[in-house]
Amino acid sequence: MALPDLSVDLGRGLVLANPVMTASGTCGFGEELARLFDLRRLGAVVIKGTTLRPRSGNPPPRVVETPAGMLNSIGLQNPGIDQVIAAKIPPLARYGVTVIVNIAGDSPAEYQELARRLDGVPGVAAIELNISCPNVDRGGMVIGTHPELAAETVGAARSVTSLPLIVKLSPNVTDIGIMAQAVVGAGADAVSLVNTFTGMAIDVERRRPILARGVGGLSGPAIRPLAVYQVWQVFRALGGGRGRPARVPIIGMGGIMNARDALEFILAGASAVAVGTATFVDPWTALEVVEGIEQYCRRHGVQAVRDLVGAAQEAAGAEVEQHDGEQGGEHDGE
């Protein structure tokens, strides 16, 4: 059998060699990973959330390990957009890897200004709008949990750049499908999900939250079933179904540790996936996921990975259909 075709088209000319990227904030600006392996073997590198001005982030402690995951409250520590454009993107782009810049702001106007500055910068393949950061007091998740504000933010960025726009959705909403519809209606070329789930850990001896900021974002394998289901829901909310693609491609993430995990997201409806927390455990994970997906395709006689997108939706029985439409029901409380 010929090599399986792993390429994915994320819209507006953004075509990746394979569906595996890094998740923003979990590999900095790619420097450390570049010392370990050829970054071109990944579909893309998504760099740390970048803001208009430099940010030092939240005070420590800002990371805590939890059962099968971690809480972080980094708070978008980054050197600011000017420094990122001048000093971070050029060396990364020289490796020949597809570079996606993750941006975060306080208001639609700030996202617009960030998008304006990135438009036309050599080496930038796409922008990911992080409207879902749980670790900042203004902007971030506030925008990502209000459909109108999210749409306004995407529209503002859309009006100043022809770069592909990926919008990163928050899982901390009642219906993520409504958020996906709002941002796609405003011009998003793709959606990525999920960002972290808001959570907290308490030091019982000291009787106070462990993180200095109190709350943080939960990531890692603990969130994977929740994230897979949100991808499943967004695929349907965007018109995907049996044999029908979603209106825009979905990038799935949340606790991916290996190729099997990544395939869950793809079969639920994701065209591509991102590896985050796993990189802290084993920095080769993303590469192993690429290789594992390729092996899976060979083993199952799959000619193109895109043929797997949403395939579990086709197989889903009446039970899933029914449960999707229900609020509660007999599974309540499980």
Ligand X SMILES: Cc1cc2nc3c(=O)[nH]c(=O)nc-3n(C[C@H](O)[C@H](O)[C@H](O)COP(=O)(O)O)c2cc1C
Can residue 230 be called a binding residue for ligand X (CB under 6 A)? no
Among 10, 16, 21, 23, binds ligand X (CB under 6 A): 23
Show Cβ contacts of residue 204 under 8 Å, excluding neighbours closer than 6 positions. Answer: none
Min dist. Cβ of residue 61 to ligand X (A): 13
Q: How far apart are CA 28 and CA 23, in angstroms?
A: 10
Beta bridge partners of 71: 64, 218
Locate 142 and state its tokens.
């506030």
Nearest CB to ligand X, comparing residues 23 and 180:
23
Nearest CB to ligand X, comparing residues 4 and 75:
75
Residue 133 is among the residues annotated as catalytic for this protein: yes
Catalytic residue among 16, 100, 133, 309: 133
Q: Which stretch binds ligand X (CB under 6 A): 19-27, 111-119, 179-187, 309-317?
A: 19-27
Question: Residue 130: phi, psi to the nearest 5?
Answer: -85, 95
- Taking alpha carbons only, the member of 83, 61, 84 closest to residue 74 is 61
Q: How far apart are CA 119 and CA 188, in angstroms?
A: 16
In the shown chain, the binding pattern of residues 123 to 162 toward ligand X, with x for contact by CB under 6 A and - for none, equals: -------x--x-----------------------------
Min dist. Cβ of residue 192 to ligand X (A): 8
Min dist. Cβ of residue 68 to ligand X (A): 10
In the shown chain, the binding pattern of residues 170 to 209 toward ligand X, with x for contact by CB under 6 A and - for none, equals: -------------------------xx-------------
Q: Are 20 and 290 in contact (CB under 8 A)?
A: yes
Q: How many residues bind ligand X (CB under 6 A)?
A: 26
Q: How far apart are CA 125 and CA 157, in angstroms?
A: 15
Nearest CB to ligand X, comparing residues 103 and 267:
103
b/e code 264-294 from CB counts within 10 Å (16+ = b): bbbbbbbbbbbbbbbbeeebebbbbbbebbb
Can residue 219 be called a binding residue for ligand X (CB under 6 A)? yes
Q: How far apart are CA 224 and CA 203, in angstroms?
A: 25
Can residue 164 be called a binding residue for ligand X (CB under 6 A)? no
Question: Hey, which residues between 65 and 94 contact ligand X (CB under 6 A)?
Answer: 72, 74, 76
DSSP one-letter string for 233-277? HHHHHTT-BTTB--SS-EEEESS--SHHHHHHHHHHT-SEEEE-T
Can residue 213 be called a binding residue for ligand X (CB under 6 A)? no
Q: How far apart are CA 248 and CA 191, in angstroms?
A: 7
Can residue 256 be called a binding residue for ligand X (CB under 6 A)? yes
Could you list the residues that contact ligand X (CB under 6 A)? 23-26, 48-49, 72, 74, 76, 102, 130, 133, 168, 195-196, 219-220, 223, 253-256, 275-278
**Residues assigned a catalytic role:** 133
